[in-house]
Amino acid sequence: MVAISQSSDASSPLSRYQQFVAQGRLKADEGQAQAVTLLNTLFQELANTKTQPGKGRWQKLFGRASSDVSATISGLYLYGGVGRGKTMLMDMFASCLETGSYQRLHFHDFMVMAHNAVQAARNADAADPFTHAAEQLIKAGHIICFDEMEVRDIADAMIVQRLFAALWNKGMVLIATSNRAPDQLYLNGLHRDRFLPFIEQINSRLTIHEIARGPDWRQQYLAEISNWHVKTLDDDCTVSLDAIFARLTDNEPAGPETVTIAARDVLLAKVAGDVADTPFAALCGVPLGARDYLALADRLAGLVIRDIPVLGDAEQNEARRFMWLIDAFYDRGRFLIASAEKPVESLYTGSQWAFEFDRTCSRLEEMARARFGSDTQ
The domain boundary residue, chosen from 169, 195, 210:
210
User: If you average pLDDT over residues 109-114, what whole number do you get?
Assistant: 89
Query: Can you give the pLDDT at residue 128?
Result: 94
333 and 258 fall within a common domain:
yes
Cross-sheet strand order for the sheet of 275-279 = 228-230, 335-340, 302-308, 275-279, 264-272, 255-261
The domain boundary residue, chosen from 162, 188, 210:
210
Q: Is residue 43 part of a domain?
A: yes
pLDDT tens digits, one per residue of 214-225: 666 778 888 889
Query: Can you give the pLDDT at residue 20?
Result: 85
User: If you average pLDDT over residues 179-186, what whole number do you get?
Assistant: 92
Q: What are phi and psi of 57, to 5 degrees?
A: -70, -15
**Greater pLDDT, 275 or 219:** 275
**Greater pLDDT, 371 or 93:** 93
pLDDT tens digits, one per residue of 285-306: 999 999 889 889 888 889 999 9
128 and 163 fall within a common domain:
yes
What is the average pLDDT value for the chain, to the nearest integer?
Answer: 85
User: If you average pLDDT over residues 116-132, what whole number do you get?
Assistant: 94
Q: Is residue 114 part of a domain?
A: yes
**Greater pLDDT, 249 or 244:** 244
pLDDT tens digits, one per residue of 321-348: 999 999 999 988 899 999 999 999 999 9
262 and 136 fall within a common domain:
no
The model's confidence at residue 244, banded by pLDDT at 50, 70 and 90, is very high
Query: Can you give the pLDDT at residue 279?
Result: 97
pLDDT tens digits, one per residue of 27-86: 788 888 999 999 999 999 888 764 333 445 445 554 444 445 555 788 999 998 776 788
The model's confidence at residue 23, banded by pLDDT at 50, 70 and 90, is confident
User: If you average pLDDT over residues 172-184, what whole number do you get?
Assistant: 93
Max mean pLDDT among 252-256, 257-261, 324-328, 332-336 falls in: 324-328
366 and 329 fall within a common domain:
yes
Query: Can you give the pLDDT at residue 54?
Result: 40
Domains in the chain, number: 2
- Domain of residue 233 covers 217-370
331 and 226 fall within a common domain:
yes
Query: Can you give the pLDDT at residue 261?
Result: 73
Residue 233 has pLDDT above 50, yes or no: yes
The domain boundary residue, chosen from 173, 189, 210:
210
